Amino acid sequence: MEWFEIELDEQTLKDYPPDAQLCRLAELHGTDPETMMKRLLCENLTLPLEDRGDTAHKFHIAGHVGGLSPGPEPSSVMIIGRQAGEEEERAGKFFAGPCGTELRKGINHDLSGLYLTNVLKFRLPMGMKRIPADYLKFETPLLMQELALVQPMFIFLLGADAIKALLGKKATLTRYRSAVLDWHGAKVVCSVNPAQILYDPSLAAGFYQDARMFV
């Protein structure tokens, strides 16, 4: 999907307007904030992003339906993870490599036709555990636009950051696991991020159980 083919959801734009960093990027690209949002939703771009005054260039990956080009195409299923990884950077797509393999095993389905995205659409530096607040402010309006444009019926939240992004800062996996939740009419299931299984295989059984609830 090309950026000029989409129309941003106006109510979501009012509720989650572009932050100062996105406005600065728009100025650097010689465009307006809404056009910059459309480009970020539909294109993989290398961007100079700030965290507490320090600037670093990040490869920002747009959400996509599995098997299709980037962009918020309508899909009945949306899967939201934490951040892009090394394999995702190389492929320019989310849930590539071993993480995607675990996800496919869990849902017993390939990723074709499913909308895939992350809270953070680029990779954090090695060793950084928490997503900085500046990055969340930048990414949240994009994620909310994805939800409004994709209009999923089913949402699978993978990991604490995805759960908090959708259900609030106080939301936890412990609280919401093993339940089917409602989010603006969509059914929501929460689980660990499959990337964690690569480091702790004991998490696999619980993830597969959650995934069965989702499918």
Q: Give pLDDT tens digits for 9-53.
A: 999 999 999 999 999 999 999 999 999 999 999 999 999 988 767
Strand partners for 116:
64, 79
Q: Is the pLDDT of residue 55 over 90?
A: no
Which domains are seen in the chain, by residue range?
3-214 (3.40.470.10)
Question: Which tokens is 147 given?
Answer: 């939800």
Structure pTM? 0.95
Beta strand 186-191 pairing with 154-158: parallel
Average pLDDT, the chain: 93
Q: At what angle do helices 97-107 and 204-214 cross, to 10 degrees?
A: 60
Dihedral angle sign, alpha carbons of residues 82, 83, 87, 88:
positive
Task: Dump pLDDT digits (tens) for 98-154.
Answer: 899 999 999 998 999 999 999 999 998 877 889 999 999 999 999 999 999 999 999
Lookup: tokens for 191: 């689980």
pLDDT tens, 28-38?
A: 999 999 999 99
Percent of the chain scored above 90 by pLDDT?
81
Greater model confidence, 119 or 213: 119
For residue 41, what are the CA distances in angstroms to 73, 82, 204, 211?
Answer: 10, 17, 31, 27
Q: What is the mean pLDDT of residues 75-87?
A: 94
Please report the pLDDT score of residue 68 as a whole number.
86
* Helices vs strands, H then E, count in the chain: 10, 8
Q: With bands split at pLDDT 50, 70 and 90, how would you rate the model's confidence at 63?
A: very high
